[in-house]
Amino acid sequence: MKGKKVYIILGSNIGGKRSYLDKACIEIEKAIGNIELHSSFYQTSPWGFESNDEFINKAIVVNTLLDPNDIMITLLEIESNLGRVREDNKDGYQSRTIDLDILLIDDLIIENDLLIVPHPRMKERKFVLVPLAEMAGELIHPTEKRSITDLLNICEDEEDVTRVF
């Protein structure tokens, strides 16, 4: 049976960053589905908050039969199991062991209390668009009606996104 393609961005800026990303991928494969594609790893500055700790980010494509809300619940559980602590913070952004965000699920448009797909700020963030374009540059964003590569080309984010491995 054909599943849904889920595009996820992973990030870490605490401790063994690459190890956290690798562990998250293992858990995603166990609980959600087969990872069909991995982007390269990218080093990026924190977005939306001040920190001396750079992020390592990568994107993946997962094939799954799970319901979108169940995917989100599972990703939150994986974050928690890998030491992610969500502190009340008026800005909403902070350093973290792991961050797992759903960017797209096929061409679905979802908005409920748990999940908004496409990710509402993905088109503003080069650290999301660069690894996503590496894997799926021709993919059409379901609400913007433009390719990921086009969105990257017009993105006004000036942060450096450097491929590291």
Higher-confidence residue of 75 and 97: namely: 75
The residues facing 13 across adjacent strands are: none
pLDDT in tens, 22-37: 999 999 999 999 999 9
pLDDT in tens, 54-67: 999 999 999 999 99
Look over the chain and give the mean of its residue pLDDT values, rounded to a whole number.
92
Give me the mean pLDDT over the 3-27 stretch.
96
CA end-to-end span of the chain: 34
Identify the band that residue 91 occupies on the pLDDT scale cut at 50, 70 and 90.
Answer: low
pLDDT in tens, 131-154: 999 999 999 999 999 999 999 999
Report which of 23, 28, 33 is spatially closest to residue 3, judged by C-alpha positions: 33
Identify the band that residue 95 occupies on the pLDDT scale cut at 50, 70 and 90.
Answer: confident
What residue ranges do the domains of the chain occupy? 4-115
Residue 58 contacts residue 131 (beta carbons within 8 Å) = yes
At 86 the pLDDT is 67
Indicate if the pLDDT at residue 92 is higher than 60: no
Residues belonging to the active site: 84, 96, 99, 101
What pTM was computed for the model? 0.93
Report which of 75, 71, 59 is spatially closest to residue 129, judged by C-alpha positions: 59
DSSP string across the chain = ---EEEEEEEEE-SSSHHHHHHHHHHHHHHHT-EEEEE---EEE--SSS--SS-EEEEEEEEEE-S-HHHHHHHHHHHHHHTT------TT-----S-EEEEEEETT--EESSS-EES-TTGGG-HHHHHHHHHHHTTPBPTTT-SBHHHHHHH------EEE--
At 49 the pLDDT is 62
Identify the band that residue 90 occupies on the pLDDT scale cut at 50, 70 and 90.
Answer: very low
Domain made up of 4-115: CATH architecture: 2-Layer Sandwich (3.30)
